[in-house]
Amino acid sequence: MDVLTQTLLTGLTAGLLCRLYLLKSDYRRYPGYPHSVVTHLSLAAIASLIGAVAVPALAAREYTAITFLALVAQQFREIRNLERQSLAELEERELVPRGRDYIEGIARVFESRNYLVMFTSLGASLAAFYSHWSIGLALALLLTHISGHLKRGQYLGEIAVVEPAEITFRGPFLTVNGVVLMNVGLRQSREKILREGLAAVIKPKNDDARAVLHDAGQRQAILHTVATLLGTKLDIGEQEWTPIIRKKIDTGELVLYILPNEPDMECLLEAVRMTPVLESAVTRPLKSRVGRAAAD
């Protein structure tokens, strides 16, 4: 097997292995559908070939390959738009929607993973071209491990303390830890909420975390995660069963209410903790002099 073939096969194999490792379906079930999996693996094959071809092209001083890489990067940005549009169309029928911020985060993730695949393929093919294919695959395993580390973001449990809270009524008003959530007019509905409803309080660990919890998109992501994992008895036109999250304005804490299919408090707390922190919600007031002074 000549060097060129060895380089291309190593780069293609490395890229596909990296994408298979990153292509993990969890409770969100995306991209869990067979057609979505095929689409992402096909894009991974293209990204892998681009990374593999770049090395021999540049070695042969074919510098036009750089222009080709820039064109491919533009196409990967279009992939983000397609993912965003697909998820936005599915969002219309969700009873507890993800929210635009969550959708944008998912679209960014799928775009960035194509770049990780391309860089993994590039590194493996570079090692195979100048050394041996076995060195290339060994480097591919290392780069894949690094890619897996890079794909992991923060979770809410890392920036906030999540504790059980008590549901009470002040007349017809549903309250959690003193925060009024909504008016429930029917006595039977109030009794059902007291009997089967769950509530939690989310306390930020610092001012940076409080800024994250202030974001409306992050709050919607929490509701969607909890409703997905525990289920909800919400149905179309039944507002009293709607999961709600509100801010305690004096402290920045959030209180959450849900009428779940699985009324398990520990599962509720864990579901809140494993909600991803959205990139669009992250701000760092403590990184500024004014933010630190205000915190003091």
Buried b or exposed e, range 85-122, using 16+ CB within 10 angstroms: ebbeeeeeeeebbbbbbbbbbbbebbbbbbebbbbbbb
Neighbours of 58 (CB within 10 A): 16
pLDDT in tens, the chain (296 residues): 577 788 888 888 888 888 888 876 656 655 556 667 777 788 888 888 888 888 887 777 776 766 767 777 777 777 788 778 878 887 877 888 888 888 888 888 888 888 888 888 888 988 888 888 888 888 888 888 888 777 777 899 999 999 999 999 998 999 998 899 998 888 898 999 999 999 999 999 988 889 999 999 999 999 999 998 998 988 887 788 889 999 998 888 999 999 999 888 999 999 999 999 998 888 877 677 666 656 66
Buried b or exposed e, range 244-253, using 16+ CB within 10 angstroms: bbbbbeeebb
CA distance 216 to 237: 23
CA distance 40 to 176: 43
CA distance 96 to 101: 14
- Per-residue confidence (pLDDT) for residue 134, from 0 to 100: 85
Q: Which letter does DSSP use for residue 240 in this model?
A: G
Instruction: Please name the helix (run of DSSP H) or strand (run of DSSP E) that holds residue 246, with its range, or none.
Output: strand 244-248
- Per-residue confidence (pLDDT) for residue 174, from 0 to 100: 92
* DSSP line for 169-224: EETTEEEETTEEEEE---HHHHHHHHHH-EEEEEEESSHHHHHHHH-HHHHHHHHH
| Nearest Cα to Cα of residue 172 among 162, 181, 160 | 181
- Per-residue confidence (pLDDT) for residue 26, from 0 to 100: 59
- Per-residue confidence (pLDDT) for residue 257, from 0 to 100: 94
**Beta bridge mates, 169:** 174
- Per-residue confidence (pLDDT) for residue 275, from 0 to 100: 92
Retrieve residue 7's tokens.
Answer: 């380089």
Asked whether 168 and 175 are in contact (CB, 8 A), the reply is yes
Residue 74 burial (10 A CB sphere; 0-12, 13-18, 19+): exposed
pTM tops 0.85, yes or no = no
